[in-house]
């Protein structure tokens, strides 16, 4: 469930300005016991944390770090070996030394520099490397403070191919780094945003005490409004802290500025409100607009500080995404692949990550057709979000998803070409760029990377979703999506083992995946749900994943593991599976949710993931959210409040109930992450740039410490402490579309829960029966019965079609349709339904050439009925 390693480095001397800034070493005297500032300079620990660009793979050979450089690189800085997060202190004296060799022989330059524009050089030394290793040493006085400088060995610019080797690389001087101590604030850890009135309310207390402690809940005015005793929990494995927990769920009075006091410590303030998360739904989705490629970002929509010109449309210095060639040897055509979302902190666009992110936005909308609490999708409808397409009679969340869908469709190999119908895995810069760098200022050439089976199946799946969800709003676009999905699926079956290379990580992440069984399953599910074609259903049922447990403990799903997406959709999207099969599939979802609830109960910080180090990986926050989504889906299916409460409690961790006492969502909570790794939102490096917009989710703790900044700072950290809110830590603090798509889904669910009160029993029953269906239409009869104890005086029924069905005529009710949503209202003669009474109405419709399953959700005056 880990993300591809993404070595997002600043290229040494990538501009003429960096060369002009080069300065000779200053006189310095470095004592023999000066501290070492580089890591693994003798390469006894392998390659990490060294990186390279413009070279072959790095390898340790005979104890030396070696790589190759192809002949004919134009400039010395076109290829390099480096290490990030090198600390320098202004005025301190340093000695840089290394052994270097090159075969047949070439110039090399070592540069200590600012690792981002303008790449200011602090010190440099030139050498001529030959096949015999040469020892090079220089001393200098640092002209600046920089806790995250960069050492680069520039090894390009030779007319001949070269093999370079380094050994005994050392930078001594300055001061030994002091132990890092994060500011964790008060020892009482709460959801700093707040709690829903009827929902769970838990907190965690860090304390040396082993016996129960008294707690007090205080109002903003200081009055004690509730009290009780904590529950000792012992040592929490993920944080290595002795902790106790507080449960104040019984207190339900809305208000602002509450605090919780335990053991002489008072928490950050928080609210109790049924509207806590309403704005988070829009905030989490605005991230996608801010990440758009190929369009000018309108500051009037999301804030003037985020306004910028369109990126990658071929306006200098961009080389553009409108006519992109392949990597050498991959293809002989170019494609217009403009648009889409920048994937994460760089300017790359990746189909497999775009696929799951698009799915989650589409699924957040599709949930509104089947979830009682979603109010028919009103909060995701047209003119509800901050997108430029608002007011076009299409739900805004679909407009946002379409921006990426259009890009994904453009990545498909054209007809008549080898591998026609397959999909290119990714498109990004030829070489890594540094931070900060606005999209419109990126000068790097762009390249299409080889098609892959995984990317092709991602398009097949989300384009199939597109076909059914866009059908009521844009039939032509839905048809285009359907054609692309079928073409992609057929191409993937013809080429089932085209895998992205794990070594294709220069200029962008590799996103390699050599097991695509899950992608085949997911795509077949989506195609069957949208087309009803029995061939796709045969592939679904033939897959070993169809009956397997596809929900893993550390993360139910992710870009590399998508079988659970198919399972969730089979469980929730109306379809024609036999009743027993539907029951089995839904039971598999609730069984997974039960396991996540057990994990949540076992965690003193209340997360639905294990407390082991392997749960704290790259993007751990999104894995936790995805498990919460399974809990939320189990609630939608079962109406059992324990699953809703589990999903609601899971959000507490995101908003401050964690070891670091930090909200991982920008702009949400007293202490929140705001220095996420991003070239666009790089305020930490350039005060003229903004932080990420409110609602941006940080990746979260990563016990593997897969970037040098985190590795230097956090060595030996307990898993939950393996995070730092610093732009240099891309492995713990990056933003990414698939992390924010998870947050957006959960935020929409949370906002839909209102005060999270008791779930009422249904007081109505609906029999929905389609008596006839033919290629152009259908006839349906609906009977609604009052099963409650009081009369219904005026009724409105609501349900949604799965695709492009349209009501053409109705009788015995006033029937209207907006998009896929149908409303049926009483007439004067059948307005009143006494307890036990029923009434029947009928309708004719068109569009039954696509599947026309019975709806699973029908509401009466906004409350769900049992449906048969």
Q: Sort strands 764-774 and 241-247 into parallel, antiparallel or unpaired.
A: unpaired
Report how far residue 582's alpha carbon sits from residue 570's, in angstroms, rounded to the nearest whole number: 8
Candidates 735, 723, 563, 752; CA nearest to 647 is: 752
DSSP string, 163-231: EEEEEEEEEEES-PPPPP------SEE--SSEE-TTS--EEEEE-S--S--EEEEE-TTS-EEEEEE-E
List C-alpha distances in Å: 244 to 217, 227, 247, 602, 720.
16, 15, 10, 12, 16
Yes or no: say if 636 and 572 are a contact pair by the CB < 8 Å rule: yes
Report how far residue 497's alpha carbon sits from residue 183's, in angstroms, rounded to the nearest whole number: 48
Catalytic status, residue 725: yes
Catalytic residue among 519, 652, 734, 752: 734
DSSP string, 728-795: T-HHHHB--HHHHHHHHHHHHHHHHTTT----PPP-EEEEEEEEEEETTEEEEEEEEEE-SSS-EES-
Catalytic status, residue 265: no
The residues, any chain, with a CB within 8 Å of residue 117's CB and separated by 6 or more, are 10, 15, 17, 434, 436, 437
- Which DSSP letter does residue 338 get? -
Catalytic residue among 236, 346, 512, 854: 346
Report how far residue 334's alpha carbon sits from residue 543's, in angstroms, rounded to the nearest whole number: 36
Yes or no: say if 342 and 438 are a contact pair by the CB < 8 Å rule: no
Yes or no: say if 812 and 830 are a contact pair by the CB < 8 Å rule: yes
Q: Sort strands 324-325 and 334-335 into parallel, antiparallel or unpaired.
A: antiparallel
Catalytic status, residue 734: yes
Report how far residue 723's alpha carbon sits from residue 659's, in angstroms, rounded to the nearest whole number: 10
The residues, any chain, with a CB within 8 Å of residue 432's CB and separated by 6 or more, are 7, 8, 9, 10, 11, 53, 346, 506, 507
Catalytic status, residue 677: yes
Q: Which long-range contacts (CB under 8 A, 24 or more apart) does 575-584 make?
A: 575/528, 575/529, 575/851, 575/853, 576/532, 576/851, 576/853
- Which DSSP letter does residue 672 get? B
Catalytic residue among 321, 725, 826, 854: 725
Strand partners, 356: none
Report how far residue 246's alpha carbon sits from residue 227's, in angstroms, rounded to the nearest whole number: 10
Tally the residues of the chain.
868
3-state secondary structure of 486: helix
Catalytic residue among 539, 670, 677, 752: 677
Report how far residue 707's alpha carbon sits from residue 738's, in angstroms, rounded to the nearest whole number: 20
* Catalytically annotated residues: 346, 677, 725, 734
């Amino acid at each position: 469930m880990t993300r591809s390693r993404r070595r997002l480095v600043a290229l040494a001397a990538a501009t003429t300005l960096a060369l002009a800034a080069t300065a000779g070493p200053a006189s310095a005297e470095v004592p023999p016991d000066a501290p070492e500032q580089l890591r693994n300079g003798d390469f006894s620990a392998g390659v990490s944390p060294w990186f390279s660009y413009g070279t072959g793979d790095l390898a340790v050979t005979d104890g030396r770090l070696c790589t190759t450089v192809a002949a004919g690189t134009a400039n010395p800085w076109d290829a390099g070996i480096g290490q990030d997060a090198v600390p320098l202190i202004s005025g301190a004296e340093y000695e840089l030394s290394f052994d270097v060799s090159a075969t047949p022989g070439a110039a090399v330059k070592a540069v200590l520099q600012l690792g981002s524009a303008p790449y200011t050089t602090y010190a440099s030394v030139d050498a001529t490397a030959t096949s015999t290793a040469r020892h090079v040493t220089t001393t200098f006085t640092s002209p600046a403070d920089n806790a995250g400088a960069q050492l680069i060995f520039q090894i390009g610019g030779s007319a001949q191919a070269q093999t370079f080797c380094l050994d005994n690389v050392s930078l001594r001087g300055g001061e030994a780094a002091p132990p890092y101590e994060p500011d964790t604030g008060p020892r009482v850890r709460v959801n700093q945003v707040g709690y829903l009135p009827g929902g769970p309310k838990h907190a965690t207390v860090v304390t040396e005490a082993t016996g129960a402690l008294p707690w007090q809940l205080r109002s903003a005015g200081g009055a004690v409004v509730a009290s009780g005793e904590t529950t000792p929990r012992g040592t929490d494995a993920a944080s290595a802290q002795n902790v106790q927990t507080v449960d104040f769920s019984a207190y339900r009075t809305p208000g602002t500025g509450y605090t919780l006091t335990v053991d002489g410590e008072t928490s950050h303030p928080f609210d109790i409100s049924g509207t806590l998360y309403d704005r988070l739904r829009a905030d989490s989705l605005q991230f996608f607009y801010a990440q758009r490629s190929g369009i000018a970002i309108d500051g009037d929509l999301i804030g003037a500080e985020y306004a910028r010109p369109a990126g990658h449309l071929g306006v200098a210095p961009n080389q553009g995404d409108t006519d992109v060639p392949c990597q050498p040897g991959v293809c002989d055509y170019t494609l217009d692949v403009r648009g889409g979302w920048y994937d994460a902190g760089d300017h790359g666009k990746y189909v497999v990550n775009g696929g799951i992110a698009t799915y989650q936005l589409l699924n957040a909308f599709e949930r509104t057709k089947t979830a009682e609490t979603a109010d028919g999708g009103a909060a995701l409808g047209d003119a509800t979000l901050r997108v430029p397409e608002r007011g076009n009679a299409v739900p805004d969340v679909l407009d946002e998803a379409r921006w990426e869908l259009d890009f994904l469709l453009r990545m498909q190999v054209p007809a008549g070409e080898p591998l026609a119908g397959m999909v290119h895995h990714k498109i990004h810069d030829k070489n890594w760029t540094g931070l900060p760098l606005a999209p419109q200022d990126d000068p790097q050439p762009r390249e299409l990377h080889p098609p892959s089976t995984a990317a092709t199946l991602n398009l097949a799946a989300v384009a199939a979703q597109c076909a059914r969800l866009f059908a009521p709003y844009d039939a032509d676009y839905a048809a285009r999506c359907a054609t692309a999905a079928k073409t992609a699926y057929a191409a993937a079956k013809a080429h089932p083992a085209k895998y992205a290379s794990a070594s294709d990580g220069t200029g962008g992440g590799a996103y390699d995946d050599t097991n695509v069984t899950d992608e085949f399953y997911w795509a077949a599910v989506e195609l069957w749900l949208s087309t009803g074609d029995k061939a796709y259903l045969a592939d679904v049922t033939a897959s070993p994943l169809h009956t397997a447990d596809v929900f893993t403990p550390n993360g139910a799903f992710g870009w590399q593991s998508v079988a659970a997406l198919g399972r969730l959709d089979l469980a929730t999207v109306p379809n024609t599976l036999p009743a027993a099969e539907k029951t089995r599939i839904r039971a598999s979802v609730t069984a997974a949710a039960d396991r996540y609830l057990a994990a949540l109960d076992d965690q003193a910080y209340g997360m639905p993931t294990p407390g082991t180090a392997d749960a704290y990986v790259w993007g751990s926050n999104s894995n936790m959210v995805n498990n919460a989504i399974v809990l939320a889906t189990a609630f939608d299916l079962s109406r059992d409040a324990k699953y809703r409460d589990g999903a609601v409690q899971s959000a507490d961790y995101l908003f401050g109930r964690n070891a670091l006492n930090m909200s991982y969502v920008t702009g949400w909570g007293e202490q929140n992450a705001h220095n996420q790794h991003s070239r666009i939102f790089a305020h930490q490096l350039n005060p003229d740039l903004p932080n990420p917009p409110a609602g941006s989710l940080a990746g979260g703790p990563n016990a593997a410490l897969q970037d040098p900044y985190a590795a230097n700072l956090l060595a030996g950290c307990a898993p939950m402490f393996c995070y730092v809110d610093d732009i240099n830590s891309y492995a713990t603090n990056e933003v990414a579309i698939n992390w924010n798509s998870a947050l957006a889904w959960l935020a929409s669910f949370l906002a839909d829960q209102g005060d999270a009160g008791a779930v009422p029993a249904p007081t109505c029953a609906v029999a929905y029966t389609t008596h006839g269906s033919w290629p152009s239409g259908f006839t349906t009869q609906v009977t609604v019965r009052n099963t409650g104890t009081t009369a219904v005086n005026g009724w409105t029924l609501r349900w949604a079609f799965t695709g492009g069905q349209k009501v053409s005529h109705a009788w015995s009710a006033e029937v209207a349709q907006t998009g896929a949503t149908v409303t049926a209202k009483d007439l004067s003669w059948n307005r009143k339904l006494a307890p036990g009474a029923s009434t029947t109405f009928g309708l004719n419709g068109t569009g039954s050439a696509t599947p026309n399953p019975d709806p699973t959700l029908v509401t009466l005056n906004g409350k769900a009925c049992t449906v048969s």
